[in-house]
Amino acid sequence: MTQTFGARLRGIHAATIVPMTADFAVDEAQLSAHLAAVACTPGINGLLVNGHAGENFVLSLVEKLRVVELARRHAPEDCLIVSGVNHESSLEAAREAAALERAGADGLLVFPPNSWALGHANDCVIEHHRRIRDATAAPLMLYAAPVGAGAMAYVPSLLERLVVDPRFVAIKEGSWEVATYEQNSRLIRRLRPDFVVLGSGDEHLLTSYLVGSAGSQVSLACVVPELVVSLWDAAEAGDWPRARAAHEKLYPLAVAIYRNAPGGRATARLKACLKLLGRLSCDAVRPPQPSATPNELRALEQALRITGVL
């Protein structure tokens, strides 16, 4: 029997990066190799492409479509491909979503526009999601932004309005704060018991699995996929000592990538990790982000050694 989209979301899905050349063009050869290597790792059930780690806010639509096409080509046939949709304009977001679906995405993750961090009317959020919904037929996912991202993080009353739309079937819960994660998870389970909640705060995966999660879409899994899978497998089995041991290896790397100031540096640090591991020849990030600094590189190298992969 064919699994539903929600059932296929269970487990670990890696949010991938987009390798660039030194002059900031998409390096298709390295991108293809990256997608294949991550997707073929045992226990990786799918990919999230064109997410924040994939620099979706600085890629053109043509580039985003190419990322989906290459993911479809190089990932195993049963690998679930979800593409992010991120645009300031609701009209352009709807066009982008329809094009990404045609390119081969199995589902679409709707990111809140970055401008919403400064504030928005709740009806604007509903309208943005409605435009994307009406332009597509694929399963749709919500994104719960970090609580530190200002008004991009949906308050419970707004989240409730979004969740009751039957076209939306899952959420990448990236609140990055345990109390909010549990609050949102409980609200969603009350409204839609079938709604898939993916605990996707890379620094507190263990906690989200303890609270309750169907899996994760995380960029940490594009650097150390085996370790993230081992954490999930242990949690699924209820083997919390083994899960805690995996968490102890992952935690310093998660902190080095996602927490340390300055903020918004995760993609540069992910690329630096892949270069340190010999999986990427160039760690260029598209402007305005610079590549990893010497201090960042030292912290990342130390964390990679703790994980045992370097």
Tell me whether the omega of the peptide bond preceding residue 76 falls within 30 degrees of 0, making it cis. no
φ/ψ of 168, rounded to 5, equals -95, 130
Residues 6+ apart with CB under 8 A from 142: 109, 110, 129, 154, 159, 162, 163, 168, 170, 171, 172
Tell me whether the omega of the peptide bond preceding residue 288 falls within 30 degrees of 0, making it cis. yes
Place of tokens 């969740």: 163
Residue 256 DSSP symbol: I
Place of tokens 């201090």: 295
181 is catalytic: no
φ/ψ of 85, rounded to 5, equals -125, 120
143 is catalytic: yes
Rg (CA), the chain: 18
Choosing from 64, 143, 209, 275, which is the catalytic residue? 143
CA dist., res. 53 & res. 57, Å (int): 10
Choosing from 64, 154, 172, 209, which is the catalytic residue? 172
Helix axis angle, 225-236 to 240-254, nearest 10°: 150
Residue 279 in contact with residue 34, Cβ under 8 Å?
yes
- At 159, is the secondary structure helix, strand, or coil? helix
Give the H/E segment covering residue 270: helix 266-276
Place of tokens 């839609």: 192
The set of catalytic residues is: 143, 172
